[in-house]
Structure 1
């Protein structure tokens, strides 16, 4: 059986098996066996290939790691655990925003704390988008049942929808900026997700508690890991089901 994921990744990267063999200093026959017979490369080669093709090891070779090894890699993806969101310092937020160069993603119901915590947020996002960083903002639809339910769970009623309208007043300043995209979503939000290239803050939600009082996991993507990509995939699923808040200057 062939490794179709590896074959597709090579085609996508416009790299021939012969070129790959030369790059990582193995024989062309060896690469052919990896592709056509789904032979498993050594760990060092898997890492080199995943970096070269910009694909995760876990995606290219899903059965390469044992359950125990996968668990250890997942633990390594967690760089910090904060007991509550308010424990994440402004310096951490600023570093993540400042260092992101490819993608910034914000998935919340309202997340009003963010522009209140960082008054320069809108200017930062504008500057990032203008330099080529894709910015994706997902807010809860203020007319949706899930936003009303979340407000009821936190004991603030319709104030949750009001928070969405309030934060939208900030983000609407970006509606004419190419590279900034905003959508409403109506999904049950089990976590708020803040993505910065290959780092991520995941604010877990607990019934009856405001998000500010719930833990945050700081994740860093590893090529052999799956934890980061689980939340990245979740973000993308919500994004694909969202409704544009405004018509973006550049299609997204």
Structure 2
């Protein structure tokens, strides 16, 4: 379970996250949605123990992030918005490195690597330098690395970026399976139709604050809209702007 209470994060005079509160239960997929610069990635880095909060309380799997960020990293699988990998290593070398850091027994690691590599279809790239791989393949490497230690909590920041349709479908099915196993998942995406399909609850973050939260149906009812995309645009005050831009394009083209 994840508990976030009055979380703030400042970088100098800039407050990226401004007093947000939410929870994610065991066996729940929570969608954290917001435009670029809204505070999503900062929040997720704090949940993963990468950043410390300026104030507030964050507990992940019963562990306070401020008091024991190392333990949080042990129980969490984190995929950042842009893959952060050792580009001079091959995927196999990188997985072995992650396995050694995580303390995964060799046979167990090999079995997990083989299963996930087969699922995401990167077997032909295992001997290539990571730096030479396409963005989508690097994203798959990042996803596999995040799952190798069988984490109780998954923090996925735009994890669908660069994935082909087959791999995106496989990831979606994996997340649904993890939910059935009782894991807590925080998931951000700009593909709102996907969020509408898999998220149990959604929090819309805007200018560092959660401005609305609930099930997709609750948000639709609140905003008087029929799709999560329209709800998102309305809540983030983008609906009129988008309509204006589309009209201008139609007149110009």
Tell me the TM-score normalised to structure 2 length.
0.28
Higher strand share: 2
TM-score between both structures, scaled by the size of structure 1? 0.28
Looking at CA atoms only, which structure, 1 or 2, has the larger radius of gyration?
A: 1
Q: Which has the higher contact order (CA 8 A, sep 6+)?
A: 2
